[in-house]
Amino acid sequence: MPDTGMLSQPGPGLPARVKLVEVGPRDGLQNEAAFVPTAIKVELIRRLMDAGITWIEAASFVSPKWVPQMADGAQVLAGIERRDGVVFSALVPNLKGLDAALAARCDEVAVFAAASESFSQKNINCSIAESIERFVPVVEKALAAGVRVRGYVSCVLGCPFEGEIDPAQVAAVTARLHQLGCYEISLGDTIGTGTPLKTRRMIEACANEVPLTALAGHFHDTWGMAAANVYAALQSGMAIFDSSVSGIGGCPYSPGATGNVATEDIVYLCDELGIETGIDLPALAEAGSFISAALQRDTSSRVARALQARIARAARLAAA
């Protein structure tokens, strides 16, 4: 770490601890052109757990015609080692998906709506209102089975088809999902066009409808603002964030969007702010190196790159 001195207490107004939901195995891999073998997904999840990650979105139970990359969700859930304290979740768009997720012994499921009508149509082939109606029996059945439900709202800071999205519309969909019984609502900047001020305004609108403790930030990093948006959200009092190791990912129905904010970058930010994550950064960076090598590309995490450069420098010095 740089010797700027980590804070032992978080700065004023910042949470003492954050919950990080690792979405790399799902959001990170759903958009890959070539199918990522099940064994690689299972090994990635094992390495993430070794790094201390305890919330993992492992799969999607969606139509394999729509998202072929996630067709092996049942095999991934069957292949992973279950550890005490680690929660595995999966996306479910309808009852068929929920039944598959329950059969696969998911600890949690997530339904996904949007704040943009056009995105809703492109992503799940129905209007926002129809999606909410579709989720009613999904949430009821999941809760009856003792499985908690998370809700997603996409396009909270912009839509690839409609442009600007009114924070009031985001807040309305957020409130609806919360009323349905979703215990946590993840606010997705699907196309990564958000900026800190817009982020704070959007969170404020949602927090007028739903307790702030039930809101999570899900920032894609297309325009390089994701870490800045996380910091703005922390200052707003938000303490739950989604991220993907190595910054992998994107949404198949969001043209041009890149991966989520890299988990390594958020962990470093939180470490430096004195905010506890429970995650070991070097071990996490190794999990990132593993998936980057498997995908045959460099990591998108600036922090992981800096760590790699530091290790290489130290090795050169030791050899000299």
Provide the binding-site residues for Mg ion, judged by CB under 5 A: 27
Name the residue with the smallest CB distance to ligand HMG.
188
Task: Rule CB under 6 A: say whether 241 interacts with ligand HMG.
Answer: no
* Cβ at position 194, least distance to Mg ion in Å: 12
**Residue 161 touches which of ligand HMG, Mg ion, none (Cβ within 5-8 Å per kind):** none
| Site size for ligand HMG (CB under 6 A) | 27
Burial class (CB in 10 A: 0-12, 13-18, 19+), 318: exposed
Task: Rule CB under 6 A: say whether 73 interacts with ligand HMG.
Answer: no
CA terminus-to-terminus distance, the chain: 23
Q: Over the Cα atoms of the chain, what is R_g?
A: 19
Task: Rule CB under 6 A: say whether 218 interacts with ligand HMG.
Answer: yes
Residue 168 backbone class (left: φ over 0; alpha: ψ -120 to 50; beta: rest): alpha
Task: Rule CB under 6 A: say whether 190 interacts with ligand HMG.
Answer: yes
User: Do 258 and 299 contact (CB within 8 A), yes or no?
Assistant: no
Q: Which position has the token pair 């969606």?
A: 62
Contact stretch for ligand HMG (CB under 6 A) within 32-40, 90-98, 135-143, 283-291: 90-98
- Residue from 9, 118, 125, 213 binding ligand HMG (CB under 6 A): 125
Residue 29 vs 232, nearer CB to ligand HMG: 29
In whole angstroms, give the CA distance from residue 253 to residue 119.
Answer: 8
Residue 213 contacts by C-beta under 8 Å, 6 or more apart in sequence?
Answer: 239
In whole angstroms, give the CA distance from residue 311 to residue 207.
Answer: 43
Task: Rule CB under 6 A: say whether 229 interacts with ligand HMG.
Answer: no
Question: Is 251 a catalytic site residue?
Answer: yes
Residues near ligand HMG, by CB under 6 A: 27, 30, 60-63, 65-67, 91, 93-94, 96-97, 112, 123-125, 152, 154, 188, 190, 218, 220, 251-253
Residues annotated catalytic, as ranges: 251
